[in-house]
A and B are shown apart, each in its own frame.
Chain A
Amino acid sequence: MKPKDVSILIVDDEPSIRNSLAGWFKMDGYKTEVAEDAYEALKKLQENNFDIALLDIKMPEMDGIELQRRIKEIDKNIITIIITAYATVETAIQAMKDGAFDYITKPIDPDELSRLIKKAIEQRRLIAENIMLRGKIEELQSLDEIIGESPAIKKVMELINTVAETDSTVMIRGESGTGKELVARAIHAKSKRRYFPIVTINCGAYPEGLLESELFGHEKGAFTGALYQRKGKLEMANKGTLFLDEVGNISLKMQMDLLRVLETKKFTRLGGDKVIEADFRVISATNRDLEQAVREGSFREDLYYRLNVFTIFLPPLRERKSDIPLLTYHFIKKFSLSMNKDVKEISKEAMNLLMDYDWPGNVRELRNVIERAMVNVKGSRIEVDDLYFSISSPYPKPEGETLEDVEKAHIKKILNKTGWNITKAAEILNIDRVTLYNKIEKYKLRK
C-alpha cells in the first residue's frame, strides 16, 4: 500500500495533539482526518473507510477503549492504535484484548511512531490480502463446480466466457438448485471486475422494508432500530458485481426503485438526502416465468428488459443426466477431502439409482444426497443403502399413470437395488424367476 492509499483517522480532544499528528502523517503522504471526540469519530467512520484509527484513551464522555469497541462493530478490520499519556498495565491489556494493534505513550518518539504506522499498514495489507484471497478461493471453487460435459452445460460455459468479458447486465434463468449463483460468481470471477467484490442479495428473503434498507442502506434514525448509519449492498458492490437472486420476487414499489438505480447508478440511503453514486454490474437470477409475470402485471416490463439484456438458461439436471456421473464423482472427491474420508467410488447399482431419479431439486439435491451418503458410508464405496433422498421418494417416480408403468418402474428399482441379482429380485417381488425374466423382456429392461 502506498502512503496515499492509506487513510488515518486521528481522535483526540486536544487540538494541538490531533493537528500535530495529522501534520506529521501528511508529510508522509497519508490521507488524514481528525475528530475531536468519539461521536465525531463514529460519524466519520460511517461516512468513510479508514485503514488506521489512532485513539486517545482519555476523552470526555466516551474514552478511547469504549470508542474502539464501537469502531470494531462498524469495521472489524480497521487497525486501532491507542494513544495514552496515562499508560497503565490494565488499560493497555484492556485495549489489546479489545483488538488494539498496539498502544503508545505520548509524547511519542518520532521513530517509534513511524515504525508503528509502517507495521500497522503491513497488518492492514495482510488483512486485505487475506479477504481478497478468501474471495478468490470461493470464486475459483464456484468455477470448479460448474461441472459437466453435456452439450447443454457446455453451452452455458461458452455463454459465461462470452458475457464475462463485457459489462452487460445478465439474467440467469433456471429451476431452483441448478446453480444460478455459481454461474453469477463464475461470470464475476472472469470479468474485469474480479478484484472487487461480488455482493449477493436474496431478494426473496426480505420483507419489502428490510430489502430496501439492505439495498440502499440507511442513515442513523431512519427508522426504529436504525441506531447507526449503515451502507447498503449497492454501495458495497461499488466497482464489483451486484447479484440479485430471486429478482422475480420483489414488490412493484421495489421494482420501481430498483429500475431508477439501475438506470442512474445513483441513490440515497433511507432517511438521507446525500446522493451516492456506485458503479456496479448487475447479474440477476430467477426461477419464475417472468414473461408470464409481465403479462399478468406483477413484474414491470421496463425492469424486465433492463435486467434481461443477456440471458443464460440453466438446464435442469433431468435434461442433462449424462452429467450425473461426473457431478457425483466431483462431490465424492470434494466431501472425501472435507470429511477426511477415503471414499473413491460408487457402486453400479447406486449409480443406476441416481441416473433413474428425476432430480426435482437439481444439482443442489444431488450434492445433498452425496453429502449424506458420504456421512453414512462405511467403506470406500457408496452403496445403494447409503443413498437417502430427502426432497421426494428415494426411488424413481413411476413414469406414467398406468398399472404397467408402475410395475415397470418398481421392477427396475428392485433390480437396480439388488444389482440385477434375478433370484434376490424375484424373492423381493414375490414372483418366480421365470415370471421376472418374462417381465424384463416385456418391459425391455436393461442393466
Chain B
Amino acid sequence: MPSIYIVPAWLEENHDLEFLRLRISEVFRKKTVIYESKKIDFHSIYNPSRKQYNSSQFLIQLLNNHPKDALRILGVTDVDLFIPILTFVFGEAQLNGIAGVVSVHRLNNKFYGLPENEELLRKRLIKEAIHELGHTYGLVHCLTPGCVMNSSTYVEDIDEKSEFFCSYCSSVIRG
C-alpha cells in the first residue's frame, strides 16, 4: 500500500518520531510509516567550512534510496542544514515531487540559548514537516495568515502560524 515514509536520519540524538507519524497520517490521510535507512551518508554532504550539511544533497540521497511504494518520503534530521546560497534552511522539498527534508536543529530552543521545551519543539517539527510535505503536493508559500504554508525564515514565524492548511491549500491536498 502506497505510504508516506518518515526517514529519521539522526546523528546525535535518538528521538521518538511516533507523534510525528500519527499527525502526518491524520493530516494527509495516508498510511505513514517510520522507515530506518542505512543508506544516508551524512559525511559526504558535510561542508567543513560552513560546518553544516547540504540539504539538497540529503534530498537527493533520499530520492535515490526510497522504498518502491513510497507516496512521499520525508527525511528528518537534527543536523544544521543549508542550501548553497543561504545561511541555513529549516527544511527543503521538491515542489510537486515526492521528497522533503526537515531539520530540528534550529527548531530547538537550545540553539537560541533558551531552556529546552520538548512540547514546543514537537509542535515546530510537526508544522515544518507538514509544510515541506505540502510543497511536494505543489503548494507554494501561502499568504493566508496562520496557514501552515506561510513562509518561515525565523523560528518565531513558525510559532506564529498554525499546523493547519487554509481552505485553499487544504483543497489542493485533498485533490
Contacts and interface: CB of A to CB of B under 8 A. Distances in A.
B86 interface: yes
Contact of A24 (B50, B83, B154): B83
A26 B87 contact: no
A391 interface: no
A393 to B, nearest CB: 69
B140 A107 contact: no
A28 B86 contact: no
B135 A27 contact: yes
Q: DSSP majority for the A interface? A: helix
Interface stretch (A109-117, A362-370, A397-405, A438-446): A109-117
Contact of A17 (B85, B93, B95, B135): B85
Given A16-B56, A20-B56, A110-B89, A28 B151 contact: yes
Given A3-B140, A20-B56, A111 B85 contact: no
Interface in A19-38: 19-21, 23-24, 26-29
Interface string A43-73: 0000000000000000000000000000000
Given A110-B88, A110-B153, A111-B154, A23 B141 contact: no
A29 B86 contact: no
A14 interface: yes
B113 interface: no
Given A3-B140, A20-B56, A108 B85 contact: yes
A107 B135 contact: no
Nearest to A107: B87
Contact of B83 (A23, A26, A29, A114): A23
A111 B156 CA distance: 12
Contact of A26 (B88, B95, B151): B95
A108 B87 contact: yes
A28 B141 contact: yes
A17 B87 contact: no
B141 A29 contact: yes
Contacts of A26: 95, 140
Interface string A96-120: 0000000000111111011000000
A54 B87 CA distance: 17
A114 B86 contact: no
Which of B82, B86, B153 is packed against the most chain A CB atoms within 10 Å? B86
A21 B85 CA distance: 6
Interface in B65-122: 82-89, 92-93, 95
28 contacts: A14-B84, A16-B84, A17-B85, A20-B85, A20-B86, A23-B56, A23-B92, A24-B85, A26-B95, A27-B93, A27-B135, A27-B141, A28-B141, A28-B151, A29-B140, A107-B50, A107-B82, A107-B84, A108-B87, A109-B153, A110-B86, A110-B89, A110-B153, A111-B153, A111-B154, A113-B85, A113-B86, A114-B153
Given A20-B83, A24-B86, A110-B153, 6 more contacts: A23-B56, A27-B95, A83-B85, A107-B50, A107-B84, A108-B87
